[in-house]
Amino acid sequence: MVDFSLTDEQKDIRELAHDFAEKEIRPVAWELDRDSGFPHHIVQKAWEVGLMNSHIPEAYGGPGLDYLTGCLIEEELGWGCSGIGTSLMCNGLAAAPVTLGGSEELKRQYLGMLTEEPRLASFCLTEPDAGSDVSSMRTTAVRRGDKYVISGTKCFITNGSHASWYTVYAKTDKEAGHRGISAFVVPRDAGGVVVDKKEDKLGQRASDTAMISFNDVEVPAANLLGEENKGFKLAMMTLDRTRPGVSAMAVGIAQAGFEFARDYAKERVQFGVPIAMHQAIQFMIADMATKVEAARLLTWKSAVLLDQGKRNTLASSHAKRFAADAAMEVTVDAVQVYGGYGFIKEYPVEKLMRDAKIMQLYEGTSQIQRLVIAREVLMPRRVEEPAPAAA
């Protein structure tokens, strides 16, 4: 029997996140968007009230929340402002490979760093010439004695300018394609880590997106995550775990767009009645509501499978693809409901439309999600290893 009800603890956490989004995030969201300012003070507050590092296990100072509860938080933060929400949630992406593949010592040191203080970490996979095609990356890690020397450039790194450490993927065997990639923890203060460029973005302007170069950066061999040359799978397993949260963030954007459009349609009078009385608008609002609901259900399913220790690759791509596209469609329609006012920055919905676009791009484009879905439904036995334990 499918039960969509939440536990009391989940309801409390959702309420906490909603209040935080309403009282701390929304009042500054449009200003930070305009100025492309980083929400340092919100990071501090979110960390203090326990809304960061949701999935870091209690053993390393985290709350060790399940994935569904993490999605509840991410939806609310996305409802408040997905740029700020992304800044708050990005630690999860950097931390997951450490939780999955790190030694006890690495977990204590680097996960502990995030839970002991309001610090940030970043996930460095993408490169200027290796986006969707992960295995074509050029960054290398060469073993020298008890160290690896890492060289290369990573781009579009969320929180890159502010991170205390990075999870970095690099080729340890250049000839072996995806079977020659390894993952490492790289502390920011290792010599040779340079923040090259902060990007000026269309949306999610309160989140930091930077290009980071690793110039012959030496890290102890013990900073290797999992086994050498098994980094590609670690990246894929990480994305399976983080895509539900990204989907939830998209649901939050869509929910916000729906609410603004619904409320505006009830106020705005044209042809002598609120525009919500016109069927053309009613049908748009109805479609928005359906898309939000369907996106949320797919998102919850992708998280619940993880919580049950099951493989969620297909479900997380369904959720990410659908929720990202729903966020885009709903926010475009929200602008339409506002008419000419929707195009004006004084009104809230154009920001949502700009913010929504990245949901179809980061953590795997909507086309990559379709590619994963197609492979999973056409060749369902392709990945034969047992479901990995939840991180």
Task: Retrieve residue 105's tokens.
Answer: 């010592």
Q: Which of residues 138 and 178 has its CB atom nearest to ligand COS in the complex? A: 178
Catalytic residue IDs = 363
- In the window 26-45, what residues touch ligand COS (CB under 6 A)? none
> What gap in Å lies between CA 51 and CA 32, rounded to an integer?
20
Q: Which of residues 56 and 237 has its CB atom nearest to ligand COS in the complex? A: 237
**Contacting ligand COS (CB under 6 A), which of 240, 325, 355, 376?**
240
**Contacting ligand COS (CB under 6 A), which of 165, 232, 338, 347?**
232
Q: Which of residues 53 and 369 has its CB atom nearest to ligand COS in the complex? A: 369
Q: Are 209 and 282 in contact (CB under 8 A)?
A: no
Coil, helix or strand at residue 167? strand
Question: Any contact of residue 170 with ligand COS (CB under 6 A)?
Answer: no
Q: How far is CA 32 from CA 39, 46, 149, 208, 250, in A?
A: 8, 17, 38, 11, 19
Neighbours of 313 (CB within 10 A): 21
- In the window 254-313, what residues touch ligand COS (CB under 6 A)? 313
DSSP state for residue 62 in the 8-state scheme: S
Task: Retrieve residue 316's tokens.
Answer: 């997380």
Question: Any contact of residue 238 with ligand COS (CB under 6 A)?
Answer: no
**Contacting ligand COS (CB under 6 A), which of 7, 132, 282, 290?**
132
- In the window 68-127, what residues touch ligand COS (CB under 6 A)? 125-126
Cα-Cα-Cα-Cα torsion 275, 276, 281, 287, nearest 10 degrees, comes to 160
Q: Are 331 and 232 in contact (CB under 8 A)?
A: no
Beta-carbon contacts of 62 under 8 Å, excluding residues fewer than 6 positions away, are: 53, 54, 55, 56, 111, 114, 115
44-52, 137-145, 284-292, 362-370 -> range binding ligand COS (CB under 6 A): 362-370
Which amino acid makes up residue 154?
Answer: K
Q: Which of residues 110 and 232 has its CB atom nearest to ligand COS in the complex? A: 232
**Contacting ligand COS (CB under 6 A), which of 362, 373, 376, 391?**
362
Name the residues that contact ligand COS, by CB under 6 A.
125-126, 132, 134-135, 178-179, 232-233, 236-237, 239-240, 313, 362-364, 368, 371-372, 383
